[in-house]
Amino acid sequence: MSDADDVLIGLDPEQRAVAEAVRGPVCVLAGAGTGKTRAITHRIAYAVRSGVADAQSILAVTFTTRAAGELRQRLRALGAPGVQARTFHAAALRQLTYFWPRVIGGSAPSIIESKLPILGEACRRLRLTPDRSELRDLAAEVEWAKVMQIGPEDYLASAGKHHRTPPLPAERVSRVYEAYEQIRRERHLVDFETILELTAAVMTEHQEVAAQIRQQYRYFVVDEYQDVNPLQKLLLDTWLGGRDDVCVVGDPNQTIYSFTGASPRYLTGFGVEHPDAAVIKLVRDYRSTPQVVDLANLVIAKGRSPHRLELVAQRPDGPKPVFDEYDDEPAEAAGVARAIRKLLDKGVPSREIAVLFRVNSQSESYEEALSKAEIPYILRGAERFFERPEVRQAVVLLRGAARAATGEPMASEVHVILGGVGLTPSPPGGGKAREKWESLKALADLAEDMAANGADLPAYVAELERRAAEQHAPPVEGVTLASLHAAKGLEWDAVFLVGVTDGMLPIIYAEGPEQIEEERRLLYVGITRAREHLSISWALARAPGGRKGRRQSRFLDGLTGRGSAPPRLTPSGRERRQVATPVSCRVCAKTLVNATEQKLGRCSACPADYDEGLLESLKSWRTATAKEAKVPPYVIFTDVTLQAIAERAPTTEQELLSIAGVGKVKLDRYGEAVLTLCRAA
């Protein structure tokens, strides 16, 4: 057996096929938990050790700094330390910075870390005053336009074509976008999208640059290919320059970022783009029990995608997934906390438990329930571990101690230093103090692990700095609270999927078959995060004593073992009902045909009679609710619907439901708050 063949030991037949397919084009369709990172790193190492490719000529591209760091770490362990593993942006920035003085001249532009300050200035120039939530939505919209290669002058037409729901009227977004780009150019700044765009442009316009880059990189691997957007695809094609030595890896079942411009068509259409490509499927799931895998397969099989992968479980049997229905959201949160306590009592570490939800605003009730149960938790997607003040302070002190070299045992010295900034033998009760303690405890645990393997303090500090650069935080004790989007790429022993109702999953503003299918894939991603224990729950009402009008997600129909769900009113059914029942003006009794007049319940020429204070209260409530849910205000209720509510001032659920634009789902979510305002008025 050759030295290269050692790399193939322990791979299953499909993973080995990937590793041995050392020349492109290659497409790897890799299901959740099937060992895709193992397969592609072994492929790279096998190519290097067999002499097919030189390590310095390989560029492995992925989407996050942490994923790139993991690739480099695995490749070092496999004997291929010289391979470049970077994000799209890091690879492009490195090339752009290197060639800038030669082909453009002068200093390279500075990088915009956040679009919000410049967008805020752009809005002030246009005399617009969006709040911070609207600014974040504007930033997302500008990013979408840029990755789709849509300029400010084309945004208005493109937003309608792509069925976008911008945070401001599309014409205003176009003007803000134009002002943002003007400020950016005036100040010699580049954002992350411009970095990719400029790198591709420099290679296209300067053939000597393209030749040098293509001479350097001859062998490409792209991970998470289902998440590639048009701008990234443009850069990849520019790097390749007509060559086809590329291996792409992805899972069509995990396409959940199309709202950002990502498109799975590059993955699913790879065989069309490269007719001679080798297409290899990884379907052996080593992560989850057969019970979890079966449920994931059933959920995705009910969808419309022709490209889905059916997983085959490799682990022994485990417990069946649990489906729980609760009367209200506080009861659901309390029930989840009790179930977590039982798992902790059975020995499941808190860091191996996660509570996943559709939107971040759902986390509050679980934070409260876990705090009451004295269960530590961490909120993923908040502050990065190495950016926390206590961690930054600890690293500075540890770095100084490493230079002093006292000769004390490393683990003991780390404990003394961390004790000076708040690490105590036992944890505090909860809240911020507990979060700080957990961060310091994670640093101490890492020190003990490394000390057991003979590492000294300088090696420990070097490891911390490597992890900080790669955003690879040590495991922190605590139950993870995270959105389904933030959970992608992670896994836990036990997963609780909460709030799985129609209107939340799929989310109420998902419109059309494609958006609904993306919501289905989001549930699939949540299910496949669980190794062994999986619980799915929902609440029939928002608050105790509220109307129990919710129902489990349609994606669970036929899977929960519960009675038949109440029939849903389809959009076409709703349209038929509106046509069949003429609407008359409540002032002059004339039949209304205009949609806006039907919603208001009166002719536009007839006088309106409403409490202006109530309308303002409704608008203020809508703004606050939209900000919390991180959606545009009109997703909650349109201006016309709010005016209709103010004019009719309903005091009962039936009166509110009779207003066009207030369906059963919105009645359940917002009815109590709206009726409270109306009754007060």
pLDDT per position as a tens digit, 601-619: 666 666 666 677 888 889 8
Beta bridge partners of 416: none
Q: What is the pLDDT of residues 473-492, one digit of tens each?
A: 676 788 999 999 999 989 99
Q: Identify the pLDDT of residue 15.
A: 94
518 vs 256: CA distance, rounded Å: 6
Q: Identify the pLDDT of residue 121.
A: 94
Q: What is the pLDDT of residues 172-182, one digit of tens each?
A: 999 999 999 99
Strands (E) in 456-565, as ranges, are 479-483, 492-497, 530-541
Token pair 């911020």 is found at: 432
Residue 526 has pLDDT above 50, yes or no: yes
Q: Name 584's Cβ contacts closer than 8 Å, sequence gap at least 6.
A: 590, 591, 592
532 vs 457: CA distance, rounded Å: 37
Residue 552 has pLDDT above 90, yes or no: yes
Q: Identify the pLDDT of residue 260.
A: 87
Give which of 163, 140, 159 is closest to 151, Cα–Cα. 159
Which whole number is the average pLDDT over 280-296? Answer: 95
Contact 40, 223 (CB under 8 A): yes
Phi/psi of residue 607, nearest 5 degrees: -65, 140
Q: Identify the pLDDT of residue 522.
A: 95
Token pair 């470049």 is found at: 84
Residue 594 has pLDDT above 70, yes or no: no
Q: Identify the pLDDT of residue 1.
A: 44
Three-class SS state of 151: coil
Higher pLDDT, 214 or 263: 214
Q: Identify the pLDDT of residue 183.
A: 95
Which pLDDT band holds residue 119 (cuts at 50, 70, 90)?
Answer: very high
What is the arrangement of strands in the sheet containing 84-87, beginning at the earlier edge strand?
84-87, 58-62, 219-222, 246-250, 26-30, 278-282
Q: Identify the pLDDT of residue 35.
A: 93
Which whole number is the average pLDDT over 328-349? Answer: 95
Q: Name 330's Cβ contacts closer than 8 Å, sequence gap at least 6.
A: 365, 369, 543, 544
Token pair 């039949």 is found at: 591
Contact 329, 542 (CB under 8 A): yes
Q: Identify the pLDDT of residue 440.
A: 86
Q: Identify the pLDDT of residue 568.
A: 35
Residue 193 has pLDDT above 80, yes or no: yes
Q: Identify the pLDDT of residue 134.
A: 81
Give the residue ranges of DSSP H helices in 528-660. 571-580, 595-600, 612-629, 633-636, 639-648, 653-657
Which whole number is the average pLDDT over 584-599? Answer: 55
CA 671 to chain centroid: 29
Which whole number is the average pLDDT over 439-448? Answer: 84
Residue 511 has pLDDT above 70, yes or no: yes
Which pLDDT band holds residue 96 (cuts at 50, 70, 90)?
Answer: very high
Q: Identify the pLDDT of residue 604.
A: 64
Strands (E) in 15-140, as ranges, are 26-30, 58-62, 84-87, 110-111
Which pLDDT band holds residue 472 (cuts at 50, 70, 90)?
Answer: low
Query: Quick count: other Cβ atoms within 10 Å of Cβ 122?
Result: 24
Lowest model confidence (mean pLDDT) among 204-213, 340-349, 404-413, 503-512: 404-413
The whole-model pTM stands at 0.71
Which pLDDT band holds residue 263 (cuts at 50, 70, 90)?
Answer: confident
Phi/psi of residue 356, nearest 5 degrees: -115, 140
Q: What is the pLDDT of residues 423-440, one digit of tens each?
A: 888 776 545 666 677 778
257 vs 164: CA distance, rounded Å: 14
Q: Identify the pLDDT of residue 306.
A: 76
Q: Identify the pLDDT of residue 601.
A: 65
Three-class SS state of 190: strand
Residue 570 has pLDDT above 50, yes or no: no
> Which DSSP string do the residues of 360-425 spell out, in sequence order?
GGGHHHHHHHHHHTT--EEETTSS-GGGSHHHHHHHHHHHHHHHH-----HHHHHHHHHHTTT--S
